[in-house]
Structure 1
Amino acid sequence: MLTPGPISDAGWNAAAYQGLELIKSKLGAETALVQTTSPADFEDSMRDFASRGFNLIFAHGFEFTDAALSVAKQFPDTYFVVSSGSATSHNVASVTFKVDQAAYVEGVLAGGISKTGVVGAIGGIELPSIRLTFEGFRRGFLSVQPKGRMLISYTGNFNDVGAAKEAALAQISQGADVLVHNADAAGLGVFEAASDKHVFALGTFTNQNEVAPDVVIASAVTSTPDAFLRIATEVKNHQFHPGMLEFGMEDGMVKVVMNPKLESRIPAAAIERARQAEREFPSATTAPTPTNH
């Protein structure tokens, strides 16, 4: 597995590492992990793994797509799986979690609790998948507060906690009283800012409610470990078919987990509205059309 950042981020990379560990324990697989520090490492790391005989290589990030397509041509018997990837080939798959669905629900929740009518979003690098997540959140928020305003900032880095905190503080100074992030390890800075200024925040990819239990009201959680185990099992059983693989709320792979420690501070109507938005997804393929409440 290749990750673009540290597995200690309590989010994006941590979820992938949990998947790798699950594959190791459930399938008895030999596993290896490398954190890439720059795009120059992408192809070399993939080529190293493939030449060592690994059957399956996870590249955990949209930015690995081109490198995977290139290296895969040299190792036709090795499968490459790119998280949030944008292309496929006969031995390259892209796996996408519809986090925008959970972000929509989080947006509905934010709309029910924001007193200022201003919410903020902090991203790392401006990738298509992150823009899609923020768009889901925006739609959910505006479905409750049609005249509301959403601030969006990108730090250009997934690991700079300080930069994310400064971006969050800047948004708070402009009135944002609920913050969401899609910034991997840097997202911890968003929680720090929320804690310092006593505003609410929302988690992404893993259950981050315990990371900052006094400010994180809910988390958009993906079942990344289960999805990775499913893929690895299919590869082991020679049943894997590369393609654009999608997991969402409809198959239980994406959900919103409320923080029970903070539920008493959230209006019951806001929670019920969010739950109602969540219930609309099993039969939907995209975020529901926003309606004013």
Structure 2
Amino acid sequence: MSNSTGLWRPTSVEEAVRLLADEPDAKPISGGATLVAMINARVLEPQMLVSLADIPEIRGIAVLADGRIRIGAFTRHRETAACELPLGASRVVPHAASQIANATVRNMGTIGGSISFADPGLDYPPALVAAGAEVEVAGVGGRRTLRAEDFFLDWYTTALEPGEIVCAVLLPRPAGGTGYYLKHARVVGDYATASVAAAVNGAGGWRVAVGGCGPCPLHSDAVDELLSRDRSDAALADAGAQLQELADPLDDVRGSADYRRLLIPRMLATAVKTVQNDSGAK
């Protein structure tokens, strides 16, 4: 199955993870939007690439028997953005997908490749946390499922073990409600300077997460509980202050740490009020 270019094309998840286990220097490649750029910049120089393009199991969006929505890891951003299934609160995920980079990247990039890279400025991580999503991963030892907030560990670091790959993102069974993703960037298509993902289910339960303001999406059960009870201006200010306390942003070309902290309460209030207006939540 190999060729002189060092590219392998397995046709099953099991074959892919076996190849990665047998070749520690190998890297999996899905859409290639990030990996190819890193190779061109000589940040990475893998001896072999394991393409995930020929694995049917990790493609497309489907409704599982238990009602959850499965987004295969090789699903392109444009496919996720165009999803017309009734997702309820998880609508925040395709809304985030629609704001990724530009049309070229959305046509090429995949959800599995994106979250495996785990850049704090990416659009998917806070949206997945707000949706209460899970990530299904596979390795030679079998498969396991992680909550999205447990998948993202640190700057550019996930819970993936060596040789593991993302198989799918699992969204909760829709229970009404809606979601919204608010992104602040220097220019359209750039990584987020800061972002807020907000979602409410049909029972009035809220989840919010902040991106771009620390190594991982900021999420607080206490903030979710507060917003589920009260979304007055005072409550929104309190929630924003709590998330500011959790923030650990860096100074970079997209904005200073202080600027990012300043954005959090303002963006949170806008996102929550937008979801309220869309859903009729009081």
Compute the TM-score of the two structures, normalised by the length of structure 2: 0.26
- In terms of fraction of residues, the more helix-rich structure is 1
Compute the TM-score of the two structures, normalised by the length of structure 1: 0.26
Greater RCO, CA 8 A, separation 6+: 1
